[in-house]
Amino acid sequence: MIVVGLTGGMACGKSFVAAALAGMGCHVVEADALGHDVLLPGGAAYSGVVGHFGDEILDAQGRIDRARLATLVFSDPVQLAWLNGMVHPAVRALAEQRFHDIAAQDPRAIVIYVAAILVETGSHRDFFRLIAVTCSPAQQFERAMARPGAREDDVRARLARQIPNSQKTGLADYVIDTSGTREETLRQTKIVFEELSSAS
| Measured distance CA(122)–CA(7) in Å, rounded | 12
Q: What does the pLDDT read at residue 67?
A: 87
Our CA angle for 42, 44, 48, nearest 5°, is 95
Q: Residue 120 — pLDDT band, cuts 50, 70, 90?
A: confident
Q: What does the pLDDT read at residue 159?
A: 86
| DSSP codes of every residue in 90-101 | HHHHHHHHHHHH
Q: Is the pLDDT of residue 75 over 80?
A: no
CATH level 3 topology of 1-26+109-200:
Rossmann fold (3.40.50)
Would you give the end-to-end CA distance of the chain in angstroms? 6
Q: What does the pLDDT read at residue 200?
A: 77
Q: What does the pLDDT read at residue 42?
A: 96
pTM for the predicted model, two decimal places:
0.91
Q: What does the pLDDT read at residue 183?
A: 97
- What pLDDT digit, counting tens, does each position of 87-96 carry? 999 999 999 9
As a whole number, mean pLDDT of residues 53-82 equals: 92
Beta bridge partners of 51: none
- What pLDDT digit, counting tens, does each position of 131-149 carry? 999 999 999 999 999 999 8
Q: Is the pLDDT of residue 23 over 80?
A: yes
Q: Are 99 and 5 in contact (CB under 8 A)?
A: no
The ranges assigned to domains in the chain are 1-26+109-200, 32-92
Q: What does the pLDDT read at residue 182?
A: 96
| Mean pLDDT score of the chain | 94
Q: Is the pLDDT of residue 190 over 90?
A: yes
As a whole number, mean pLDDT of residues 145-162 equals: 87
Q: What does the pLDDT read at residue 52?
A: 96
